[in-house]
Amino acid sequence: MHEDSSTRGSRHFYYNGELFLSQNLETQESTVPQSSRAQTLAMNVTNFWKEDAMKTKTHYRAMQADCLQKLQRYLKSGVAIRRTVPPMVNVTCSEVSEGNITVTCRASSFYPRNITLTWRQDGVSLSHNTQQWGDVLPDGNGTYQTWVATRIRQGEEQRFTCYMEHSGNHGTHPVPSGKALVLQSQRTDFPYVSAAMPCFVIIIILCVPCCKKKTSAAEGPELVSLQVLDQHPVGTGDHRDAAQLGFQPLMSATGSTGSTEGA
């Protein structure tokens, strides 16, 4: 098969591992090697083809079509096998508790699917139990994606790199600087503050009835003392004096009851 989609081919027949007949598919001409020890068999085959030329021609066309289809599939599969798409690598990090950060290395849009992705500290690969790998999954466009993550101490980002190897190509990718981590941490604090505001409002609403109950309880003794004074015998005083004595605890400090009894 040529670049202009034209075809050219031939058939070769063997007997006990020895070539005894060749046929040009374009001209339908047959050739028998002079050194072949199966020349009689070659002549019988060519005579059979000549006796039923129509059947031979139909068989030839069907065989050619099948052969071309198989050849095209083979060429396409060969191109797919040789196709290489390098990955796009991206390193991100997020802050966690106790001064540790989680760094994630993502590789996407690569082909074929075989890839090596690992974290290194000072150029040495970390152990498997300190890393977490994602599955190699289809990326939706005939390529693949995957990731690997680990935890490191904040402030030691410059010691860690993500190592990638794919189809003979390799590279290292550093962790972003610590300044980006601080900004990211500040942005993530705002949702927590906004989420805490409704709780604070609810606490204030619940505290208001409690304060009212305490205030009512504090005012209770003054009302009781007023009732006691109203029922206390006054002696020779008139009704106006009794009224003044009855309202005296509301206007004076505690201890006015003693002065009333003295009167």
The string of pLDDT tens digits covering residues 77-123 is: 766 667 899 999 999 998 777 889 999 999 999 999 999 999 999 99
Q: Minimum mean pLDDT among 24-28, 36-40, 77-81, 218-222: which range?
A: 218-222
Answer whether residue 60 shows pLDDT above 80. Answer: no
pLDDT of res. 191: 41
Q: Do the domains 10-82 and 88-176 sit in the same CATH topology, yes or no? A: no
pLDDT of res. 206: 53
Q: Minimum mean pLDDT among 19-23, 61-65, 216-220, 250-254: which range?
A: 250-254
pLDDT tens profile 165-211: 999 899 999 998 754 443 333 333 334 344 444 444 444 555 545 54
Q: What is the mean pLDDT of the chain?
A: 71
From the candidate CATH numbers 1.10.3720.10, 3.40.50.720, 3.40.50.150, 3.30.500.10, the one assigned to the domain spanning 10-82: 3.30.500.10
Percent share of the chain, pLDDT over 90:
29
Percent share of the chain, pLDDT over 70:
62
Q: Edge-to-edge strands of the sheet including 18-24?
A: 10-15, 18-24, 30-31
Higher pLDDT, 32 or 126: 126
> 50 falls in which pLDDT band (50, 70, 90)?
confident
In sequence order, what E strands does the chain have?
Answer: 10-15, 18-24, 30-31, 88-95, 100-110, 116-121, 124-125, 132-133, 137-138, 144-153, 160-166, 169-174
pLDDT of res. 158: 93
Q: Minimum mean pLDDT among 3-17, 22-36, 154-168, 171-185: which range?
A: 171-185
Q: Which range has the top average pLDDT, 59-68, 148-157, 230-239, 246-255? A: 148-157
From the candidate CATH numbers 2.40.240.10, 2.60.120.40, 2.60.40.10, 2.60.40.1930, the one assigned to the domain spanning 88-176: 2.60.40.10
> For residues 97-106, b (16+ Cβ closer than 10 Å) or e, as one string?
eeeebebbbb
pLDDT of res. 80: 63
- CA 227/CA 42 separation, integer angstroms: 140
pLDDT of res. 1: 61
Tell me the mean pLDDT in the region 126-153.
95
CB-facing half-sphere around the CA of 172: CA atoms within 13 A: 13
Answer whether residue 46 shows pLDDT above 60. Answer: yes
pLDDT of res. 178: 54
Structure tokens at 22: 């060749």
Structure tokens at 241: 């004096």
Answer whether residue 61 shows pLDDT above 70. Answer: yes
Domain definitions of the chain by residue range: 10-82, 88-176
